[in-house]
Structure 1
Amino acid sequence: MKMLISRVLIPSLLIAMTTFNASAKDANESTQCLSFMQHSEKKLHAKDMLDLCELTAGKPMLIVNTASHCGFTPQFTALEALHKEYKDKGLVVIGFPSDDFFQEEDNEKDTADICFVNYGVTFNMLSPVHVWGSNAHPIFKKLADKTTAPKWNFYKYLVSADGKTVKHFNSKVTPDSEVFVNAVNAIL
């Protein structure tokens, strides 16, 4: 009887354990946070912090540097529409206001009003950061290493869930353009 148990049960247990470990590893890899997203940031004009690692783990993302008084500011409308259309498919949109190009409000409350009241933004907007140069936020330093640093407001970075694909789009490429929407669909 012992011989039968060890010949049948032990191999079955080993197969089950291997399958479980492989499944757990796959699940862990698909929900793992990209190293450059391991930050907590303050939400725009709020006391609440947002764990970017938790927010983006295993999900494709769109990261945008924004400004309230730029010729490209109306892109908030198309960014919001994109957010609404693709959030259920896993796309995480994150806006980082910045005054690096001298077109952001001095007061964070005014930035929030422009985003939330004027443009109805519901995607994640964070407190202003530097996006360019030696003082750039680590996320933008990593994006610059992988592609290019923002040369103006509303540079858009699409990052695949596994972080292997990072594409940048300059300010002139609108979030509702065919080329951009095709790129979003390609990373989903």
Structure 2
Amino acid sequence: MRIALMLSLLVGSLARADCTGLLDYQHPLLRSDQRVSFCERFTGKVLLVVNTASRCGFTPQFEGLEALYQTYREQGLEIVGFPSNDFRQEYAAAEQTAKVCYVNYGVTFTMLESSSVTGTEANGFFRSLIGGGAAEPRWNFYKYLIDRNGQFVKSFPSQVRPTSPELVEALKPLL
């Protein structure tokens, strides 16, 4: 038992040591003491990363994001929501953000603690994303598609709904 635990820890540290690029990132979960290691949770998955806000005209897109997640999660899709107040439409209190996500929209995909996604204050994930060629979000609910190798593929502006043919057609070949 002790050898198995040591082996597990060794393999975990090797996996983290091999982790580079976008997935070399950790962030606290929304309303939790836990941190999400992108390498551990999302390696080999297709990611749709979205900067979200709870008081925005696009907030109802949570419904479409959840529908997309339920449709494709068994095929390897993960959705990650980054709440942000960069456009002054997110609550200051994580409790209110969580209520909008979990109670009002029934979100089951990964939601993280609020952070900046633009400019010099952007969190490390978004700095890497933008540094790797993705356009900086111009508003809430910008969507970023990332392949199973952790490579940025395509972005979609706020107006593109999560279940739109444009987004789904870009997603399907990656699954």
Amino acid at match of 2:95: K
Q: Are the counterparts in 2 of residues 42 and 127 from structure 1 also a CA contact under 8 Å? A: yes
Distance 1:112 1:163 in 2: 27
2:24 pairs with 1:38: yes
Distance 1:151 1:162 in 2: 26
2:47 pairs with 1:67: no
Distance 1:36 1:176 in 2: 24
Q: Are the counterparts in 1 of residues 23 and 150 from structure 2 also a CA contact under 8 Å? A: no
**1:2-57 C-alpha deviation (Å, 9 max, x unpaired):** xxxxxxxxxxxxxxxxxxxxxxxxxx99xx74522222211101112221111111
Aligned residues: 159
Q: Are the counterparts in 2 of residues 100 and 130 from structure 1 also a CA contact under 8 Å? A: yes
Partner of 2:157: 170
1:139 counterpart (125, 135, 140): 125
Distance 1:163 1:43 in 2: 20
2:116 pairs with 1:130: yes
Query: Which structure is higher in RCO with an 8 Å CA cutoff and minimum separation 6?
Result: 2
Q: Are the counterparts in 1 of residues 30 and 114 from structure 2 also a CA contact under 8 Å? A: yes
Q: Are the counterparts in 2 of residues 33 and 58 from structure 1 also a CA contact under 8 Å? A: no
Q: Are the counterparts in 2 of residues 34 and 57 from structure 1 also a CA contact under 8 Å? A: no
Partner of 1:22: none
2:148 counterpart (158, 161, 181): 161
User: TM-score, structure 2 length as denominator?
Assistant: 0.86
Distance 1:49 1:137 in 2: 14
Distance 1:152 1:119 in 2: 20
Distance 1:47 1:165 in 2: 29
Deviation at 1:164, TM superposition (A): 3.9
The percent of aligned pairs where both chains have the same amino acid is 44
Deviation at 1:71, TM superposition (A): 0.4
Partner of 1:117: 103
Partner of 2:37: 51
State the secondary structure of the residue aligned to 1:134: helix
Gaps of 5+ in 2: 1-13
User: TM-score, structure 1 length as denominator?
Assistant: 0.80
State the secondary structure of the residue aligned to 1:79: helix
Who wins on radius of gyration, i.e. which is larger?
A: 1
**1:121-157 C-alpha deviation (Å, 9 max, x unpaired):** 0000000010000110111112222220000000000
State the secondary structure of the residue aligned to 1:158: strand
Over aligned residues, Cα RMSD in angstroms? 1.7
Distance 1:33 1:170 in 2: 28
**1:75-108 C-alpha deviation (Å, 9 max, x unpaired):** 0000001111111101111000000000000100
* Stretch deviating more after TM superposition (48-57 or 116-125): 48-57
Gaps of 5+ in 1: 1-27
